[in-house]
Amino acid sequence: MNPVAIIRLLMGTLTMGAAGFAVGVLYFAALWRTAQRLTARDGWLEPAILTVGRFSAALGVLILAAKVSALALLSAFLGFLLARGVALRTLQRAAG
C-alpha cells in the first residue's frame, strides 16, 4: 500500500468517526426531545418525525461509511457510541 492510499484511508476513517459522533449527538438529542414530547402528550406528529429523522440520519451515515471501507464503518460506529456516552454522562450530571 502506498503512502497516498494510507493517508486516504486514515482521512476517511477520521472523517467517518467525526460524522458518527456528530450524528450520534443529534440522534440522542432528538431521542431526548421525543421522550419529552411523548410524556407531555403534545401529540404524535413531532415524535414520529423525530424518530424517522434520527433513524434515517444514523442509517445514512453508517451506510455511507460502509461504502468507504470496513474501517470507516467501525470508526463511524465508535463515534456514535462515544456520543452515546457523552449523552448519558450529560444526563447523569443534570440529574444529580
pLDDT in tens, 10-38: 898 999 999 999 999 999 999 999 999 99
Closest to 50 in 3D by CA, of 41, 38, 60 = 38
Of 5, 72, 58, 71, nearest in space to 30 by CA? 58
Contact 83, 28 (CB under 8 A): yes
Q: Where do the domains of the chain lie? A: 13-95
Q: And the C-alpha cell for 95?
A: 440529574
Separation in Å, CA 33 to CA 10, 47, 52:
35, 8, 13
Rounded Cα–Cα distance for residues 77 and 68 (Å): 13
pTM: 0.88
- Please, are residues 11 and 67 in contact by the beta-carbon 8 Å criterion? no
Q: How confident is the model at residue 41 (pLDDT cuts 50, 70, 90)?
A: confident
Please determine, for residue 91, whether its predicted confidence score (pLDDT) is greater than 90: no
